[in-house]
Chain A
């Protein structure tokens, strides 16, 4: 046992999740209890929509990537019909993991154990020494293909799956968060992205929800990231709420964001979000954007920039990065981060790569410290008292409009309240329809 093993003892009886979440506070055990964790894997990760991959990771027929969802191995593969399938990475014979690479291209998968072969659409196509199975085997063989996820759908190239039949469609699940996805795609002349630079894999010693919630916490930056603002570079706009038009927003369905669009629009300055680079430095990209979208929309896209938006449960549009999180237990998670590259825009992409390394991942100027704070949060929550985590900040200044619940103070805990409300509804089975 090391200092970081802080998960609560298992087998303390069925946790009543409904009692752990109130509108302005949550019980600390939501981060530490194995039983809560097991319920999350079941209700959120096996029975709801989760982000699995991006179209650009599997651009050609036969391209695949392997992923884990709730500890289970999956293959995300594009068939020769162009369709992206999500198939259980488990041989239907005796269970061997079929595909053992991160990524590749193959028309079929051959099990290394006894040689059963499956086409990349999941059909069982080859069984060595078939005679040994007797004549009735033909009848079951067709039913012995790789198990598919119950539902696969995508939006703007982001592929989501629901392992079991989902209660709602992907569009219903995404709700208002499609605005954020559109905002990101508006920065690409073709409306497409390239997520092939590789995923940084950061071993986080904290609960997976801590990783996600913190991404839309506008309160912590001045403190957690003081070393960046003091020693490296000042914040892009002021942190003082009354001085800026920066908002936090609960978009519904657990999605939420920090939104700088109004502030950037007020300043009407391009690329504040990209190191305030001048458009003259990106001539080919600017030309491609103006050609595809016209001067006005291009200017607007360059001013408002990319989203800073969390899509429940495991996708974070981190401005020009994409982050997804894999839970590994109550006190452990892997954060995967890759830069959002724009096809054909090399002059932008090289800067995006360097900015991504600067901010994100295990050595990043920002995320390394977020990870440290996450680990210490886990250590703090091991205390039995007080039992609750307080999320009241900005509660009285929240305003509801057509975009969600909004607060004109980036440090309000509006996104966290939205996250927990939805989390509780999913775990207690009280949301089967969109609650946006």
Chain B
């Protein structure tokens, strides 16, 4: 159930994506802030970025349907709150001490837009140091909503390149 037999599929960007030049600097800045808070284990500040209808999703395959398939993470707003409370407890052993993390996000594109919500996608690499150096990579997709004068994260999907597994312990904010 591993190696070649379990290669997942790459998440494809829809046709007509707007290239980097088209991504509003405020959106890019929001994305980089989210990444930095996750990297630096600033859990409560990270949690505050989320909107009420939040969906934080790490599927095992881009074509999976959360109604019929199990995911690595499929958090609603309440589950995000619990996840953060657990991390903040100081007893989440797999993040005590927190992994040392730095991530790079690139190839940002606007892939959908409606009245108040923009969907931005891009590629990422995360370097995680815990017992040893682990490299994570994949594609992020963010749904970012303008609310009042603020931006809020409505959804974040993480398509890991190794979602086909096996996957190391992933209790940091991916």
Flag whether A293 is at the interface (Cβ < 8 A).
no
Q: In the complex, which of the residues A205, A232, A354 contacts B131, with contact meaning CB atoms closer than 8 Å?
A: A205
Interface size of B in residues (CB-CB distance below 8 Å) = 41
Q: A202-B166, A334-B166, A357-B74 are in contact. Are A230 and B91 (CB under 8 A)?
A: yes
User: A229 → chain B, closest Cβ, in Å?
Assistant: 9
Q: Are A201 and B165 in contact (CB under 8 A)?
A: yes
Q: Chain A residues near B2 (CB, 8 Å)? A: 68, 201, 326, 334
Flag whether A62 is at the interface (Cβ < 8 A).
no
Q: Chain B residues near A201 (CB, 8 Å)? A: 1-2, 6, 164-167
Flag whether A368 is at the interface (Cβ < 8 A).
yes
Q: Chain B residues near A3 (CB, 8 Å)? A: 131-132
Q: Are A373 and B93 in contact (CB under 8 A)?
A: yes
CB interface residues, B 41-60, toward A, < 8 Å: 58, 60
Which of A159-167, A192-200, A297-305 is found at the contact surface with chain B? A192-200
Q: In the complex, which of the residues B69, B82, B169 contacts A365, with contact meaning CB atoms closer than 8 Å?
A: B82
Flag whether B102 is at the interface (Cβ < 8 A).
no
Q: A100-B4, A357-B72, A368-B170 are in contact. Are A198 and B93 (CB under 8 A)?
A: no
Max chain A Cβ within 10 angstroms of own Cβ: one of B64, B93, B131, B168:
B93
C-alpha spacing A66/B3, complex, angstroms: 11
Q: Are B171 and A2 in contact (CB under 8 A)?
A: no
C-alpha spacing A100/B7, complex, angstroms: 10
C-alpha spacing A205/B134, complex, angstroms: 13
C-alpha spacing A2/B133, complex, angstroms: 9
User: B1 → chain A, closest Cβ, in Å?
Assistant: 6
User: A354 → chain B, closest Cβ, in Å?
Assistant: 7
Flag whether B19 is at the interface (Cβ < 8 A).
no
Q: Are A363 and B91 in contact (CB under 8 A)?
A: no
Q: Are B85 and A350 in contact (CB under 8 A)?
A: no
Q: A4-B132, A226-B91, A231-B86 are in contact. Are A363 and B61 (CB under 8 A)?
A: no
Q: Chain B residues near A100 (CB, 8 Å)? A: 4-5
Closest to A65 in B: B1
Q: Are B5 and A369 in contact (CB under 8 A)?
A: no
Max chain B Cβ within 10 angstroms of own Cβ: one of A101, A201, A228, A337:
A201
Flag whether A59 is at the interface (Cβ < 8 A).
no
Q: Chain A residues near B83 (CB, 8 Å)? A: 365
Closest to B132 in A: A2
Q: A368-B94, A372-B93 are in contact. Are A203 and B168 (CB under 8 A)?
A: yes
CB interface residues, B 147-174, toward A, < 8 Å: 164-171, 174
CB interface residues, A 350-389, toward B, < 8 Å: 350, 353-354, 356-358, 361-363, 365, 368-369, 371-373, 375
Q: Are A368 and B169 in contact (CB under 8 A)?
A: yes
User: A236 → chain B, closest Cβ, in Å?
Assistant: 16
Q: Are B70 and A339 in contact (CB under 8 A)?
A: yes
Q: Chain B residues near A411 (CB, 8 Å)? A: none
Flag whether A224 is at the interface (Cβ < 8 A).
yes
Q: In the complex, which of the residues A196, A224, A233, A336 contacts B1, with contact meaning CB atoms closer than 8 Å?
A: A336
User: A125 → chain B, closest Cβ, in Å?
Assistant: 23
Flag whether B117 is at the interface (Cβ < 8 A).
no
C-alpha spacing A358/B5, complex, angstroms: 27
Q: Are A230 and B89 in contact (CB under 8 A)?
A: yes
| Range for the number of chain A residues in contact with chain B | 35 or more
Q: Are B86 and A198 in contact (CB under 8 A)?
A: no
C-alpha spacing A2/B6, complex, angstroms: 26
Max chain B Cβ within 10 angstroms of own Cβ: one of A102, A224, A338, A356:
A102
C-alpha spacing A68/B4, complex, angstroms: 12
Flag whether A400 is at the interface (Cβ < 8 A).
no
Max chain B Cβ within 10 angstroms of own Cβ: one of A227, A228, A373:
A227
User: B174 → chain A, closest Cβ, in Å?
Assistant: 8
User: A361 → chain B, closest Cβ, in Å?
Assistant: 6
Q: Chain A residues near B90 (CB, 8 Å)? A: 227
Q: In the complex, which of the residues B4, B66, B86, B166 contacts A227, with contact meaning CB atoms closer than 8 Å?
A: B86
C-alpha spacing A137/B157, complex, angstroms: 56
Q: Chain A residues near B167 (CB, 8 Å)? A: 200-203, 361-362
Q: Are A227 and B6 in contact (CB under 8 A)?
A: no
Closest to A3 in B: B131
What are the 7 tightest A-B residue pairs by CB atom distance, in nearest-first order? A201-B165, A227-B91, A372-B94, A2-B132, A231-B89, A201-B166, A203-B166
Task: Knowing that A224-B93, A357-B73 touch, tell me 16 more A-B residue pairs with CB under 8 angstroms.
Answer: A102-B1, A197-B70, A198-B61, A198-B69, A200-B60, A201-B164, A202-B166, A205-B168, A233-B82, A334-B1, A339-B70, A353-B66, A356-B70, A368-B170, A371-B94, A375-B131
Interface set of A (CB-CB < 8 Å, partner B): 2-4, 66-68, 100-102, 196-203, 205, 224, 226-228, 230-233, 326, 334, 336-339, 346, 350, 353-354, 356-358, 361-363, 365, 368-369, 371-373, 375
Q: Name 10 interchain pairs, CB-CB below 8 A, sorted by A.
A: A101-B5, A200-B72, A201-B6, A201-B166, A205-B131, A205-B168, A334-B1, A361-B167, A363-B73, A363-B170
